Copies of this chain bind each other. A is one copy, B any other.
Amino acid sequence: MITNQENTILDDKFRALAADNAPGQEVRQSIKDLETIMIGDKLEGLPVDFSHGDVDAFPPTPNSDKIWKEGFEDGGAQAYTEYRGALQIRNLIAKKLEEFTAQPIAADTELIITPGTQGALFLALGATVTNGTKVAVVEPDYFANRKLVKFFGGDVVPIPLNYLETPSQNGLDLNALEAAFKNNTEVLVFSTPNNPTGLVYSNDMINKIAVLANIYDVTVIVDQLYSRMLYSNETYTHIRACKVRPNNLITIMGPSKTESLSGYRLGAAFGTSKIIDRMERLQAIVSLRAAGYNQAVLKTWFNEPKGWMKNRICEHEIIRDKLLDIFKSAQLQVATPQAGSYLFPKLPPLRIDLNTFVRLLRYQAKVTVTPASEFAPQLNDSIRLNFSQDHDKAIAAATRIVKMVEIYKI
């Protein structure tokens, strides 16, 4: 017999996981009320879905399908790997990630291959958060972080992020962070480059976070998904390479974004072996392993043809700069992304709420974006664009966003 109390608990738990506005889920939204709200006519143009990157405009790393086929032909050995992934492939990518982050990684004990970086985040938080665990979550930051903490029964301790100030003023609020750590926060999860703003935490700030985490013995989970797509004149600091480090640290990366390999669902988490161990135990009951044949595609990671990555970054930088021009010319406040392919322009006050504006953007202007509220619950004045898109279509769509702002602003 179902007790009403537990059913309510489950209802609440899953209400907190509502995914209707999540990137890619827009097809499940109703549009029937929009005709009555819409002002003016539909705007002409080709549809652009800024909710995620367009892997047709920026296709996967060359030969990923050929390497996949080799994995398939390896048969059983590649179909049934250890839950943490095939050792041979862990050996390969551990070396590459070691070079990239300038710190050693033991492939056997300190690394797990996961179903995407989403899978890595799920496992890392599942391994460190239980009922009542206080978790510092940066706002704004990747939309799933907050949901994951709540799902595992933890309490979110929000840490504000400045991203529209000068470089020296930007970054998370270190005083708020230390106060949270003093007040028994046990885990910090954050992304750098930050999703949705493209802010790269400075060397100074990363070192200060590492020292605080070390002093207060806080576990740090850092999502570095976009760290390879670093723009001109920017520098990147890996927290795992800091002189003073957190005692428990997991770094998460994957080839879904810059490398456009999202269709394979591959990621990697590396760091403290005790947490990696727990993550594997959890992976065993979640989906056993990242799809076996797909794991082989990690052989292409950090192993792209010469010049390929440089070119890819350059092409994104061009689009970034054009979109920044368009938004800034329209007097929209927007930070310059230092890495990654997210733009997070702030909108002026509108005569409709943000979710309605986002739905209208899709219906009236054929532009799909993600509302700020996905990244910080109180934030309702910004939209996120993943500008890893066809150059011309992206520029035309950004122009339509500006027109829509003109139509609906107060």
Contact = CB atoms under 8 A, between A and B. Distances in A.
B27 A52 contact: no
A79 B65 contact: no
Interface centre among A151, A217, A265, A288 (most CB of B within 10 A): A288
B263 A151 contact: no
Interface stretch (A35-43, A93-101, A291-299, A309-317): A291-299
Interface stretch (A124-132, A232-240, A352-360): A124-132
B122 A285 contact: yes
B280 A292 contact: no
A122 to B, nearest CB: 5
A141 interface: no
B217 A1 contact: yes
Interface string A22-38: 10110110000000000
A2 B248 CA distance: 11
B186 A284 contact: no
A140 interface: no
B119 A287 contact: yes
A281 interface: yes
B1 A281 contact: no
Contacts of A133: 6
A281 B80 CA distance: 28
Contacts of A277: 14
A271 interface: no
